[in-house]
Amino acid sequence: MGDTATLIRDYYAAFNAKDVDGFLALLVQDVVHVGARARALENQICVAVAPTVGNADWSPAVDVNTGWAAVYRTPDRGFPDDGILAKGALDEPGWVTAELDFETLKRARDQAQVFTARDWDAQALPGLSVGQVSLT
């Protein structure tokens, strides 16, 4: 998929043309990949997205499929700035592979700029106030 500006322009073009299917296809693809990248960042892990691409005449539930495969990683020291380890082309069937270096993964967790695992317990601060909201 193109850059963010292109994606936003495509959203607006599909929306303004009342191309609901086109707009939703863009939205679904983006949401899946943004979610995968967020899980990679939050959990300091590698995440693979492996969609079915093309027509699946054998299944009415997933008859037409669109998307691209990708492998994401935390955008931290020792990894690509955008977190993309591998990325396939939109709607092109095929394999996407990435080599996972577990030593670099461990080092990133131990010395990362984002210390999700190490800082997890700090979320339960004694001074943290909890309130209730009542809707009337």
pLDDT in tens, the chain (136 residues): 456 677 778 878 888 898 888 877 776 667 788 889 888 888 888 999 998 888 888 888 877 788 889 999 988 877 788 889 999 998 888 899 999 988 888 887 777 776 776 666 666 665 655 666 677 6
Give me 51's structure tokens: 């969609």
21 assigned to some structural domain: yes
109 assigned to some structural domain: yes
Report the number of distinct structural domains present in the chain.
1
62 assigned to some structural domain: yes
127 assigned to some structural domain: no
**Is residue 72 exposed (0-12), middle (13-18) or buried (19+ Cβ within 10 Å)?**
buried
User: Residue 50's domain spans which residues?
Assistant: 4-113
Predicted TM-score (pTM) of the model is 0.65
